[in-house]
Structure 1
Amino acid sequence: MKNKKTRRFKIRYIVFGLLGVMALAALVFMRFGGFGTGKNVNPEEFLAYAEPVENITVPESAKIIALGEATHGNAEFQQLKLEVFKQMVKNNGVRAFALEGDYGGCEQVNRYIHGGEGTAQEAAAAIGFSIYRTEEMAELISYMRQYNESALEGEDLRFYGFDMQRISYSMRFLKESCKELEVDTTNLQKLVEGENWSSECDLSTRIETLTQVKKELESKNGSENAIHFVDILMQHSELQTLTNADGATLRDQFMAENVQWILQQEQRNGHEKIFVTGHNSHVAKWGSSDSMGKLLSKDAANGYYVIGTDFYKTHCNMPTRSPEKRTIQVFYSHDPLAKAAKLAGFDICWLDFTKVPENSELGRQASEYTYMGTLGESYSIIMRLLPPSYRMFQPPAVLYDSMIFVTDANPTKILEE
């Protein structure tokens, strides 16, 4: 009897031990997105080619210079917008900053940096997305306003948006332009309830009405800016009729068209280059779908140059399924290049793929399919169980011309409205 009890005790001990090991393994997996933080290339070789961010250079032929962000919820990626933009202004003659934000909201920012009323924080809030309601974005806007206070005529900085997901400011500014030019907005007003489209209005009616407004603006020599408000509202209308997958593809197509429009406006003003920034998934010049960057890179006349970003580890500020609540979550990218940056002792660094020999270990890794972090504006526990849901598996040197690596990315702080 005693032997049976002893055997049962041993079996229970083994079972509980196995369960404990499995639970620990599950916790490790969910914490790191695997059983560790991934592979890395030779840190010494990485050290030989990596440079400080202030050393960034772009080819003279580059006309659209894009900076990606691996996440929307980290302070460092927002700070890089300002740091890299300053360099482009100083060294490359760039005078336009274009953001993955709605055109109308960004026009409100543009008015502020040209002496408009309010504060930089209020201007940032006008963009419409909580990810931009931060001190980092307010600092960028303040820099542009201060620059413009002493800029020579025609050398002022301009702030554009190339997205179309929200329409309140675009609608407001369109109605202002129509009033100035005495363009009839009776039918347009019927489509609007406050500042929102009428739920009872179908797409064809919206497009027909907007087309008529556009024709009248053109006949009265309305500004390119006023006419573009109409185009943005048309894009928004079309986008609302599609499913998520189809809508995402069309949105990137529209954003590519809007970036080209911004470039044309700047070139008419004597400036050949613009600076564009958005999520990595939009600015990357290659991929399975037609991203904005992929579409822009197909036209050699755009001179498209893109700087991607990644992290080794991130504490990322992300929204939960409840729009009012956000959470700080820790993720590891499993990017061998980002891990090499950490092991080489960098907090942040820039790697120009054109300077890395193709036959080196670093060059081969940069051209091979590998994991990289990519976090958007949503968090779910599923991400802990399925690490590929917050990583892309692509060749870095094919997606980007160069990359910036942040070892430990810190969360943004969303300011109150």
Structure 2
Amino acid sequence: MSVMKTKHFKIRYIVLSLLGAILLAAFIFMHFGGFSTGKNANPEEFAKYAQSVEDITIPENTRIIALGEATHGNVEFQQLKLDVFKQMVNKYNMRAFALEGDFGGCEQVNRYIHGGKGTAQAAAAAIGFAIYRTDEMAKLISYMRQYNDNAAEGDDLRFYGFDMQRYAHSFHFLLKFCKELGVDTKNLKKLMDGEEWSSEYDNSARMEIITQVKTELEGKKNAAQAVHFADMLLQYCELQVGTNSSTLRDKLMAENVEWILQQEQQLGYERIFVSGHNSHVAKWGSFDSMGKLLSNKTDNGYYVIGTDFYKTNCNLPSSSLGKRTNQIFYSHSPLAKTAKMAGLEICWLNFRDIPHDSELAELILQYTYMGTLGERYSWLMRLIPPSYRMFQPPAVLYDSMIFVTNANPIHIITE
């Protein structure tokens, strides 16, 4: 081999080696969201304070206990809804489960758990979001129905929704209540064409007709629920024209949770259980989240359990792919990583139990990354890890947290 050929070979080797190193580094970065899975604390110290979900306790003055979920697309976070709610029912006499789901659709669930026709799967589908068409949600609904089958009068469980992103079920329930209460429904019926809004009416016209119906209902006895269905439709319309829809939605959800609490208190129950995404239930943040608003209004009566994962294989919808796919992400939370190193698959960490002079006390008050995935996947998330992480102090957002080491994808029932 000539000197010139040897030189060219070495150059090509160096270039290919550099290119290979760059590609390997890019793969590691995009897979882990960085060049490692982040820092960790002392696993032995963490294990001293970590407890099981069955050990969860809340302060006596709590009126609203909220369970957050770091993702909508993992089995474990859906299972935790049932696991934690059972603790609240048995230990704290809670009878209300409130979900980040359509109010009208959740009323369908409520009627099912009180002996209505159909199946738990069909009831879950009525909530209106694909993420709830799962075996885990059906098990929660089945538990509530079985509990009610054996409950004494007035001791039954109730299922509420506090979201307003759907309108069909709320409209049909409002129509039914109007007929029962003797309120004219002629104009109201014109708003719907089958299961969709009639194209003849815009939001302002719809809101005017619904407001008229609401005013008539307010003059009737025992019309509180009917009035709330009207409010749900008005909220939906308001959300369509709001300039900052995310902030407005959280404000409206907070109002709806307050309404649910009032209904339960009228029935003699002082506490309710709420389940929603971490970003909604957190009691502090850069915007007025539902949790922040409720925390400010309830005078320390709002208690929130956040969640996080070390690694998630999450079921997410992709607009570019036109389907849902399972995607792997790492949260980079030092707390979640320490839970993994301590050998804890699922554990609860109560921040109030941690001594002020410990390493963990310093860590829970520092700004740190935590996993937070919504209902969206884009390949750009691989290039921009902060897009699926929250950078906040854990103990400022939450009163305690549940950590899941390896979170598995939900399976959405399509039939």
Q: TM-score range by the shorter chain?
A: over 0.9
Amino acid of the structure 2 residue aligned with 1:208: E
Give per-residue Cα distances to partners, 1:124-150, cap 9 Å, x unaligned.
000010000000000000000000011
In structure 2, what is the Cα distance between the partners aligned to 1:97 and 1:253? 20
For 1:62 and 1:322, how far apart are their aligned partners in 2?
44
Asked if the contact 2:74–2:410 (Cα under 8 Å) also holds between the matched residues in 1, the reply is yes
Q: Kindly provide the amino acid, as one letter, of the partner of residue 364 in structure 1.
A: E
Q: Residue 356 of structure 1 aligns with which residue?
A: 354
Q: Distance in 2 between matches of 1:68 and 1:405?
A: 11
Does the 8 Å CA contact 1:296/1:302 hold for their aligned counterparts? no
Alignment of 1:100-249 (within 5 A): 100-243=100-243, 246-249=244-247
- When the two chains are superposed, the root-mean-square deviation of aligned CA atoms in Å is 1.2
For normalisation by structure 2, the TM-score amounts to 0.98
Match of 1:375 in 2: 373
The AA in structure 1 aligned to 2:106 is C
CA distance in structure 2 between the partners assigned to 1:144 and 1:88 by the alignment: 13
* Residue 273 of structure 1: aligned partner: 271
User: Shift of the alpha carbon at 1:198?
Assistant: 2.7
Deviation at 1:324, TM superposition (A): 5.6
Which residue, out of 283, 303, 307, partners 1:309?
A: 307
Q: For residue 199 of structure 1, report the CA deviation from its aligned partner.
A: 3.4
What is the alpha-carbon distance in structure 1 between the residues aligned to residue 64 and residue 223 of structure 2?
23
Single out whichever of 83-92 and 293-302 deviates more from structure 2: 293-302
Q: Secondary structure at the match of 1:372?
A: strand
**AA at the equivalent of 2:273:** F
Separation in 2, partners of 1:324, 1:65 = 36
Structure 2 residue runs of 5 or longer lacking an equivalent are: none
How far apart, CA to CA, are the structure 1 residues paired with 2:392 and 2:220?
49
What secondary structure sits across from 2:412 in the alignment?
coil
> Residues 74 and 236 from structure 1, CA distance in 2 versus in 1: closer, same or farther, beyond 3 angstroms?
same
Aligned residue in 2 for 1:21: 21
TM-score, with normalisation over the residues of structure 1?
Answer: 0.98
- Residues of 2 paired with 1:300 and 1:137: CA distance? 29
Cα distance in structure 2, aligned partners of 1:206 and 1:248:
22
Deviation, 1:222, is: 4.5
Partner-residue secondary structure (3-state), 1:298: helix
Per-residue CA deviation, residues 363-408 of structure 1 (Å, 9 max, x unaligned), is 1110000000000111010011111110010000000000000000
Distance 1:381 1:75, change over 3 A: same
How many residues are paired up?
Answer: 415
User: Could you say which residue in structure 1 is the equivalent of 2:331?
Assistant: 333
Kept after mapping to 2: 8 A contact 1:171/1:195:
no
Among 275, 280, 283, the residue aligned to 1:282:
280
2:98 partner SS: strand
Compared with structure 1, are the counterparts of its residues 322 and 34 closer, same or farther at alpha carbon in structure 2 (3 Å cutoff)?
closer
Q: Counterparts of 2:200 and 2:76 in 1: how far apart (Å)?
A: 43
- 8 Å Cα contact 2:320-2:378 kept in structure 1: no
Aligned-pair CA distance for 1:196: 2.1
Distance change in 2, residues 1:183/1:235 (3 Å): same
User: Equivalent residue of 1:256, what SS?
Assistant: helix
The answer to whether the 8 A contact 2:309-2:403 is kept is yes
Overall identity of the aligned pairs, in % = 70
Deviations 1:37-74 (A, max 9, x none): 11001111101110111100000110100000000000
List gaps (5 residues or longer) in structure 1: none
Separation of aligned partners in 2, 1:202 and 1:317? 35
The one-letter code sitting in structure 1 at the alignment partner of 2:381 is M
